[in-house]
Structure 1
């Protein structure tokens, strides 16, 4: 009976709760109502012990929909424009690595957690990917997963609200292609995206169900196939599923036992947001890209979350998405080898220091 509740009843209750949260936030007109509403509703349900959970496959389905929708913005003209900003994207990705070490050091100091756990908890490269990678190096997997989830929650809640209420809602010069919904074309587009996501997942590529559909949709758009636009209700469903899964990571028992760690996380994430915004200010001075777009592009959030924020606020969707894809690819491929090098250097310095005492 317990297994039946876990597999069926709890996810159904979770979906209904998230749906109510989405409708409520849409009614009161909050920023990103179909992501923030379900996310906060699920967090409330988990923390209160309401017997709710996210559906299996919800994360992958949500990422597939959002990746497919974001890829429709990458027309041939847009891709040529993005090529101009390739160096800036790489600089932003390198900045994300530096930010990880700064915030990891601060988190370790604030919370007393070991440095390995603090580092992988601070790398903005994906919750599941960093938890698994951190576990290989001896990091506490549950603490890394909680840190990654809390970081994304705060970024998703705070940045859209700040941008919206500061009047940053823009008229995006980039528009998705095509402009009309064709259900046969949509079915084909989603099938291609699902196939691409499945291939990357089989190859064990991190963030497979976001990157695979995104690259497949970009390819279709660049080829000007014009299969279909993304219907608004389907886009809302993708946001709902992602918000639902993010909120489900906040387990009540663990959070009650890790209060000092949570306080340290809040401080380090706050500093990460401030440093990212300052870096965005520097970049806008040299590149001329609008500051709201660069704030989204350099924020320590996920591809799906920041991409959909840019989509809703009409703030440079392809630029924001391309910045985050570059960052995630670099972080996922370089974090492990770089951590090995840094740990070896640290060990050598300690050995030399002990030898001279």
Structure 2
């Protein structure tokens, strides 16, 4: 027990420089009024240093804890008055699944015909979401894991950097950051509400694993926190300081993925990943406009819900910008669930065809 605690303290100490770099990057972005400052500032700072050859420690245990916190935060978006939007959600969910099928078909075609990847590599690198589950599945195949990992990392990076200009293009949301007073930064929920939020995180994490949910550390707490908030048991929210820290950890988690990446060695694969990510983003923008035209629902919320991948990152963006996080989270949960169920069937079909 003592050895375990000591090991975690040592790992935390090694992570502190990475978090400090992310916090400095986020602070600079906040001072410059950059949209999503703590997330994008941390992401840009750690990505540049990683590509420059600096070895940064990747968050492991802290990222898992942050996923639980984000899940509790997202659950708070499910308020009692949300029922009136369910009919609109149904139409959007169907269109999201159709859009996902289009993205998947394009990604496989692009990977095979343009990038020249094997079928396994094209399939796993082209899945628009569920990066953790997809990487584990790819490890049991003949896919090139380096290409799969790079493609998903680049896609998330491109999407996060593209969010501010894409939302400005749509024009349905204000990206002006609001300065907060010290009292607002230090706001904390009441003791009873704090216990409910902590319980939602701990029990939700256990529940997610028991139910074998995709990304259980995120979606288990979402379900339990959502149940507490939608029934009116509590209206408490996570303190803004913890939200900012969550953004920093998510930002550095993406940035450090490029550690040890030689631009010369992976130049072509990097270019293919960027081109594929941009194409999928354009598909998401078109689908978001279609949903807005059909249902009148927020095009900005649809865009974040339809973006290919990075459920924790995109749901956190929706929460940070106040763009219907319940709507965005529901779409990503459904998409990841369907993808994980359908992927083995698709692979078997392609293998039979190849044989």
Coarse TM-score class (shorter-chain normalised) = 0.7 to 0.9
Correspondence for 1:213 among 204, 221, 226: 221
For residues 180 and 53 of structure 1, do their structure 2 counterparts lie closer, same or farther at Cα, with a shift above 3 Å needed?
Answer: closer
Are residues 1:329 and 2:333 paired? Answer: no
Residue 86 of structure 1 deviates from its aligned partner by: 1.9
Q: Provide the C-alpha distance between the structure 1 equivalents of 2:104 and 2:169, rounded to a whole number of angstroms.
A: 29
For residues 256 and 238 of structure 1, do their structure 2 counterparts lie closer, same or farther at Cα, with a shift above 3 Å needed?
Answer: same
Task: Find the residue that maps to 1:289 and give its secondary structure.
Answer: coil
Correspondence for 2:130 among 102, 126, 145: 126
Matches within 5 A, 1:150-161: 150-161=154-165
Q: Which stretches in structure 2 are left out of the alignment for 5+ residues?
A: 1-6, 176-186
1:115-173 deviations in Å (ceiling 9; x for gaps): 211221111222221111122232122221221111111111111343147653259xx
In structure 2, the partner of 1:114 is: 118
Q: Which stretches in structure 1 are left out of the alignment for 5+ residues?
A: 172-178, 349-357
Q: Provide the C-alpha distance between the structure 2 equivalents of 1:254 and 1:46, rounded to a whole number of angstroms.
A: 10
Q: Provide the C-alpha distance between the structure 2 equivalents of 1:323 and 1:204, rounded to a whole number of angstroms.
A: 18
In structure 2, the partner of 1:175 is: none
In structure 2, the partner of 1:262 is: 270
For residues 205 and 85 of structure 1, do their structure 2 counterparts lie closer, same or farther at Cα, with a shift above 3 Å needed?
Answer: closer
Correspondence for 1:76 among 80, 85, 101: 80
Residue 180 of structure 1 deviates from its aligned partner by: 7.7
1:34-64 deviations in Å (ceiling 9; x for gaps): 1111111121222222231123212212211
For residues 6 and 47 of structure 1, do their structure 2 counterparts lie closer, same or farther at Cα, with a shift above 3 Å needed?
Answer: farther
Correspondence for 2:328 among 299, 316, 320: 320
Worse-matched range after superposition: 230-239 or 8-17: 8-17
Q: Provide the C-alpha distance between the structure 1 equivalents of 2:153 and 2:219, rounded to a whole number of angstroms.
A: 19
Are residues 1:105 and 2:145 paired? Answer: no
Correspondence for 1:33 among 37, 45, 48: 37
In structure 1, the partner of 2:204 is: 196
Are residues 1:347 and 2:351 paired? Answer: no
Q: Provide the C-alpha distance between the structure 1 equivalents of 2:144 and 2:269, rounded to a whole number of angstroms.
A: 12
For residues 148 and 161 of structure 1, do their structure 2 counterparts lie closer, same or farther at Cα, with a shift above 3 Å needed?
Answer: same
Q: Provide the C-alpha distance between the structure 2 equivalents of 1:203 and 1:290, rounded to a whole number of angstroms.
A: 32
Are residues 1:49 and 2:57 paired? Answer: no
The TM-score normalised by the length of structure 2 is 0.86
Q: Provide the C-alpha distance between the structure 2 equivalents of 1:334 and 1:64, rounded to a whole number of angstroms.
A: 26
Q: Provide the C-alpha distance between the structure 2 equivalents of 1:181 and 1:61, rounded to a whole number of angstroms.
A: 19
For residues 160 and 194 of structure 1, do their structure 2 counterparts lie closer, same or farther at Cα, with a shift above 3 Å needed?
Answer: farther
Task: Give the number of equivalent residue pairs.
Answer: 338
Residue 68 of structure 1 deviates from its aligned partner by: 0.9
Q: Provide the C-alpha distance between the structure 1 equivalents of 2:73 and 2:9, rounded to a whole number of angstroms.
A: 33
Worse-matched range after superposition: 284-293 or 179-188: 179-188
**Contact 1:196–1:212, Cα closer than 8 Å, also in 2:** yes
Q: Provide the C-alpha distance between the structure 1 equivalents of 2:144 and 2:227, rounded to a whole number of angstroms.
A: 39
For residues 342 and 115 of structure 1, do their structure 2 counterparts lie closer, same or farther at Cα, with a shift above 3 Å needed?
Answer: closer
Q: Provide the C-alpha distance between the structure 2 equivalents of 1:228 and 1:315, rounded to a whole number of angstroms.
A: 18
**Contact 1:70–1:321, Cα closer than 8 Å, also in 2:** yes
1:220-246 deviations in Å (ceiling 9; x for gaps): 112211162211111111111111111
Q: Provide the C-alpha distance between the structure 2 equivalents of 1:69 and 1:308, rounded to a whole number of angstroms.
A: 9
**Contact 2:76–2:226, Cα closer than 8 Å, also in 1:** yes
Q: Provide the C-alpha distance between the structure 2 equivalents of 1:202 and 1:208, rounded to a whole number of angstroms.
A: 9
Residue 301 of structure 1 deviates from its aligned partner by: 3.3
Residue 65 of structure 1 deviates from its aligned partner by: 1.4
Q: Provide the C-alpha distance between the structure 2 equivalents of 1:307 and 1:8, rounded to a whole number of angstroms.
A: 26
**Contact 1:303–1:324, Cα closer than 8 Å, also in 2:** yes
Q: Provide the C-alpha distance between the structure 2 equivalents of 1:47 and 1:5, rounded to a whole number of angstroms.
A: 28
In structure 1, the partner of 2:255 is: 247
